Amino acid sequence: MSTTILGPDGKPRCRWCDAAPEFFHYHDTEWGFPVSDEYRLFEKLCLEGFQSGLSWRTILSKRENFREAFCNFDYHKIANFTDDDRDRLLTNKGIVRHCGKIEAVINNAKRVLELVEREGSLAAFIWRYEPDEAELGEPQTASTSAASIALSKELKKQGWKFVGPTTVYAFMQAMGLINDHVEGCILRSQITQAKANFKRPGRK
């Protein structure tokens, strides 16, 4: 089976785009482009946690609702959420109403504040785990990697929740730490160039 599918413009994309119409835009404008923005990184870690056991289409369709519910994933604000905020979110039909996952976001916001106090930057910390491309196999053939296992282990050690190796690997794919666009996809070379031009946080 081919690893690509033709997009609306007749050019090849990763086959998973064909699963939903809205995936083409997400694939072409977000997935795999390197990100250094602290809030976007935290948002994606949270949303990948919410995706656990669900489809990305479900989460993507609710993303704006999640952003509204969680103050655009401003972890400074979320860290101050109370039990009343948790209970309020559990009644919000626009998001995934899973108590453990909601509590994990609140917990993880507090852990980010500790991490930033200790490390100076969430982005700089995350990008330390960017793997060498030589360590990676063929695109989209793995669900974890040595780097995702290591980052997951460290986050859990720091008290984060819903950050297993598979969740972290999906996060790394999406945020550009890994270029997992398949060979033949028109975005693969674009991501390669974007990563070449990207200034890694915390590095001179």
Which amino acid appears at position 74 of this protein? D
138 DSSP assignment: S
Contact 53, 78 (CB under 8 A): no
Rounded-to-integer distance, Cα 93 and Cα 90, Å? 8
Catalytic machinery residues: 26, 48, 56
- 155's CB contacts (< 8 A; 6+ apart) are 111, 163, 168
Rounded-to-integer distance, Cα 195 and Cα 114, Å? 28
Contact 40, 112 (CB under 8 A): no
- 61's CB contacts (< 8 A; 6+ apart) are 22
Rounded-to-integer distance, Cα 62 and Cα 142, Å? 26
Rounded-to-integer distance, Cα 150 and Cα 136, Å? 14
